[in-house]
A = this chain, B = another copy of it.
Amino acid sequence: MNKVTDNLHYTAVEVGDWDALMNHSIIHPVNKQKVEGKIFLKSDLNATGTEISFNMLPPNTELPYFHFHHKNEETYVIIKGRGQFQVDNDCFNISAGSVIRVAPEGIRGLRNTSNKPLIYMVIQSKENSLEEYSTDDGERIEWSRVW
């Protein structure tokens, strides 16, 4: 991953082509095993309100475990591929353009039911932390383009 720039007001990184996510891996902080096809983007982005991860689940495989959270809401965004998602005892189909918000207590798992990689994002944020949103928090300003 290539860090493009980093200053007080922004940080930009290049994750690279979605289909090359398999080239990324992390060492899992709990069991110290290597997990391929996964990027956690918090420290690299200097993010303070959310943690984004990009994930690749190989064809016809499933996550090895179900999990829930204590404080954080998770939102899953399916970028490419097809599969199934389970929360508690509900199971439903997912594909590119599926977006699933899961409350901390929801017990969640997913699997790839296709012959192609399943590429998805997970966004962690603290439940009930957002106060202003849509355009309420933003303000337009006259500014010169440098492009």
A84 to B146, CA, bound (A): 10
Q: Which of A22-41 contact B (CB under 8 A)?
A: 28-30, 40-41
Interface string of A1-34 (1 = CB under 8 A from B): 0001101111111111110000000001110000
Output the nearest chain B residue to A125 by Cβ-Cβ distance. Answer: B49
Cross-chain contact B109 with A67 (CB below 8 angstroms): no
How far does the Cβ of A124 sit from chain B's closest Cβ, in whole Å? 6
Cross-chain contact A47 with B130 (CB below 8 angstroms): yes
Cross-chain contact B126 with A130 (CB below 8 angstroms): yes
Residues of B within 8 A of A102 (CB): 9-10
Quick one: which of B15, B73, B99 contacts A97, CB cutoff 8 A? B15
Cross-chain contact B101 with A65 (CB below 8 angstroms): no
Output the nearest chain B residue to A46 by Cβ-Cβ distance. Answer: B101
Output the nearest chain B residue to A64 by Cβ-Cβ distance. Answer: B140
Chain A interface size, under 10 / 10 to 19 / 20 to 34 / 35 or more:
35 or more
Cross-chain contact A107 with B143 (CB below 8 angstroms): yes
Cross-chain contact A107 with B141 (CB below 8 angstroms): yes
Residues of B within 8 A of A97 (CB): 14-18
Cross-chain contact A28 with B135 (CB below 8 angstroms): yes
Quick one: which of B12, B28, B66, B145 contacts A143, CB cutoff 8 A? B66
Output the nearest chain B residue to A6 by Cβ-Cβ distance. Answer: B101
User: Given A121-B77, A131-B71 in contact, is the A91-B14 Cβ separation under 8 Å?
Assistant: no
Quick one: which of B14, B90, B99, B121 contacts A5, CB cutoff 8 A? B90
